[in-house]
Each structure stands twice: as C-alpha cells, then as structure tokens.
Structure 1
Amino acid sequence: MSVQPDSKISNFTFLLMGFPGLEGKYPWLSIPFSCIYAMVLSGNCLVLHVIWTELSLHQSMFYLLAMLDLTDLCLGLSTLHTVLGILWGLVQEIGLDACIAQTYFIHGLSLTESGILLAMAFDRFTAICNPLRYASILTYTRIINIGVAILGRSFLFIVAPIIRLKFFHYCRRRILSHSFCLHQDLLRLACSDIRFNSFYALALVICTLFLDSVLILISYILILHSVLSIASHMERLKSLQTCVSHVGAVLVSYIPIIGLTMVHRFGKHLSPVVHVLMGNIYIIFPPLKNPIIYGVKTQQIRGRIQRWFTKQN
C-alpha cells in the first residue's frame, strides 16, 4: 500500500494497520474480540455494581478496587471503537485529533492503573503491618485524596508531550502499527524534532511506572518480613492470601507494559504481527483479567456474586 505524505494538519489522517496478513479473516477474528470486549465491559461493571450495592464492601480496599475496575473499564472503552471498527470493516483510518485524544487516554489510564496498584500495595502493607491503625490511616477522605492525586499525576504529567504531537510534521508513511494510537507509534512517523517527547516519555516512565514497581516491591518485602514474624503458620498463610489477588493484578498489568516497551525499543526487526499482538495484550489483557482475579480470589466479592446469581435463578 502506497501512502503519500500529507503536511496539512487540519485534515490529516492515519491509516490503522489492524492485523497484517489476516485481513481475510477479520469476520472470524471479530467474534473472539467482540466476546473479549463484552467480558471486559460486563466483568468490570459487575464488580463495580457489587462494590456499590454491598454495604459490607464499603472499605478502603474495595474503594481502591473500584477505582482499578473503573480504570480498566475506561481503558477498554478507549480502544473499543477502533479495534472492533477495523474487524467489522467500519474503520480504516483515524484523524489526527482523534488519534491524539486516544493516545492521551490510553497512556493516562495506564499510568492511573499503575498508581492505583501502588495505593493497593500500601493498603495491604498497612492492613498487615499496622492493623490496629488501619481504619484511622486509610480513611474515606484519604482514599479520595489518593485517587485525586493519582488522576492528577497520570493526566497532567502527560499533557506536554501529547500537545506537541498536534504540531509535529508527519511526512513519513501514515500507517500506524496497531489498531489504535500510541505515543511511540506517532513519534515513529514524525519528521519534526522529537527529542523532547522521547526524553520526557523515558523520564515519565522512570518516575511513574518504574518507581511504582520499586515501591510495590519494597512494600511486599516489608509485608513478608512482618508475616514471617507471626508465630502461627495459619495466620501467616491467611495474611499472605489477602495479597494474592493484588500480586496477580500487578503481574497482569506490568508484564504487558514491559513486553510492549521492549518490543518497541529493541524489536524493530520483529514481524509486525508481534508488535500488534503485544499491543493488544497490553490494552486488553489487564482489563479482562483483573475482574476475574478479584472475583475468584476475593471471598466477599465472590460470595456476593454467587448470592446474586442464586437469587436470579
């Protein structure tokens, strides 16, 4: 496919690559992807509904879980229209402004998820290492303040590089390597000076995702140290079981981010299919798995869902 450069930003559009080599199978691919997105929306909405309606779940841990599910829900919605639009034959290109907006929400929501996982690690650390002061430390007001701080950090810090994307000159082939827009993908197509965006993005990843992961690791080292000092084996096991869901959510969130980053920076020789696969895993996998992880491993949520479906039957 030959694409001519276009320097008119006002009506500039990008072509979405979709799934290279599988164009003839889009009708069949649309079935599993539609099911996945339906599970993302229904799973996260179900957990949010349970937390909202069950008064016994109105605790700091579940407020943070509700923030995580709402973030996952929005992350799924941010790519729903382009991914399914390509598979259904409705979307082939995206305008510059729409692409920048999608980039903003994808990366902002990814940073939000990382911040919430850090807050959940602090919640588990406080509950296990300082249980007597848990209720006084993680009050409702403090949880709200933490949520506002996470949103501010996530969506304000990325404004500068996102705005600059609007004024770049895109003179290379206008084909994006995914079914949605990512910051690094737009930089690849720009012929302007992208050094600020590149360095800023790297610094932002270090100051947010990397720092969050280090602090989460430190919190679990302290949790293990505290748990190992408990005399009773059953109490040690019970304390660790409260962290299983969070550890699963951390792994589900960070592994795709690390994988996509490595592929973009060091995998230029790899097949485009690998880039597309990692991009879709990065976007879809955490919102799909988090409700399952918490629905299965969190007794209060699992019990409430079971009672709800029992009443329906």
Structure 2
Amino acid sequence: MLGYILRRLLATIPVLLIVAVLVFLMLRLTPGDPAAVIAGDNATSEQIAMIRSRLGLDQPILTQFLIWSGNLLSGNFGESFFFKKTVAELIVGRLEPTVSLALTTIVIAVLVAVPLGVLAAYKHGTWIDRVVMGFSVLGFSVPVFVIGYALIYVFAITLNWLPIQGYQSISGGFRGFLQRLILPSLTLSVIYIALIARMTRASVLEVLGEDYIRTARAKGQVERKILFRHALKNAAVPIVTVIGIGVALLIGGVVVTESVFSIPGLGRLTVDAVLARDYPTIQAVILLFSVVYIAINLCVDLAYTLFDPRIRY
C-alpha cells in the first residue's frame, strides 16, 4: 500500500508541472496588459512602461517563468498586482468560505443522491424511478447560475426565509453561518446530486441482478440490509469514481456560485483576478485547485482498495 501511495504521489509531479507551464503561458499569450489595468485609462505609455518594468513584465517569458517557478518552490506565491497584498494572504483570507461551501455541498449531495439512486434502482421501472431520472436530466440541463437565481427568487425574495447574498464566518454564529450557506450549497449540489444519483442507480441496478443478491433474499434477509450492505457496497467503486470526477464540476461551480451569492471565497477571487489581469493570483489559485483535484483523485484511488481489495495487487 505504501508503495502504491508513493507511486501515485510521484505521478502528480509532472501533472503539476504541465499545469504550471500551461497556466503561465496562457495568461501571457492572451490579450490584455496588467500594467494598463493598474495605470488606468488616462495613463501615458511611459507610465505603463514603468509599471511593466516594476512588475517584471518587460522581461522575456522564459525569464519570468524561471523567476516565478523559483519563488514557487521556495513557498513564495508572489504579490498581487491588483490587491497589493501577498497572494498567500489573499488565499488564506478567502479559503474559509470556499471550503465551507464545498464541504456542505458534498455532504448534501452524497446524503441525498446515494439513497435516491438506491431507491430508483430498487423501484426500477416505476414512477419513482422515472421521477429520479427526470430530476437527473434536469440537474444536468439547467446552468448553475439559473438555479441560483431561481432559489434566490423563491426562498429569499418571495418567502423571505433566507438572506440573499453574503457570507458569515462560523465564528460569528452558527445560525447566521448556516443561513447564508444553505442557498449556495443547494444551488451547487443540484448538478452533483444528479450525477451521483444517476451513477448510483446504474451501479446498484447492475448488482441487484447478481446471484449473491438472490441468495441473500432466499435466506430471508431484510430488503434494506440487502440494498445497503450487499448491493451498495459492491456497487461502491463506480459511485466513488463519479464523486471524485464531480470535484471538477464542483470547482467550476464554486466560481459561478460565489459570484451569484457574493461570497468572498476563492471563486470570487479568481473572477476578480481575471478581470484585473492579476497574473500571480490567477496562477496561484489555479495551481491550488489543481493540487486539491489531484489529492482528491488520490483519495478516491485509495478508497478503491477498501471496497475492492483486489485493486491493491
């Protein structure tokens, strides 16, 4: 197991290197000049040139990359062009809202989607199955921002149950923290629920036709025990896979959801940094998202060995 983990960790190094190179080049090759954004509309060409020199943007791209990667290896993410703070400070300050939103979304999605998928498989061909599958199609079809605005209109404007926008730290009170997290978490979890429920239904439905399920029923075991202990456990590998794949959707959805609900997290920071052409901030946030995605995929691979020990060998 230790050797397996080490091999997986070593495999992440070239992936991160490729991501770093691609992000760096794409930012430099796309139109737009951070110096012009910082200088303002009325700046002269000399002022813009001075800002470019101060930021090091007048140097060759290879030199810029070597300086940036050297600082990165030493733990220095650089200083934001736009926010006038170190990138590390910006990320730490925006980390709590994004982590809270992501964890709440994952918990809601798994707790809702897995039972729905099992129920749809058990009631295969009935109206319950059709409703669950219809919801899955709808969840994939409707954009995240449309769901967000619809929930705001119903629960915040019409019913006045929840606040529309903003974020409150858990240190400021759990009730306010939860109230401001419910709508964005529900918004982001819809597509996640659709994805996991659909895969759970397909996997459990396939397992329910196996001989050991018929044997368990012949022994008189309770149906709920058969579904969750035998069928769900043996169908867990593809379900865990789709949960890991959904993290990519979650990262993209966080950017949109935080913008809709004005949550000061990493997603909103990414949008602001892109609009300001803030190279150091964009590069650091994308690399952070890449590391998180790779780490979750590693955890998913390790989870395979718990459900199917044959994968270890």
TM-score, length basis structure 1: 0.30
Instruction: Answer with 1 or 2: which has the greater Rg.
Output: 2
TM-score, length basis structure 2: 0.30
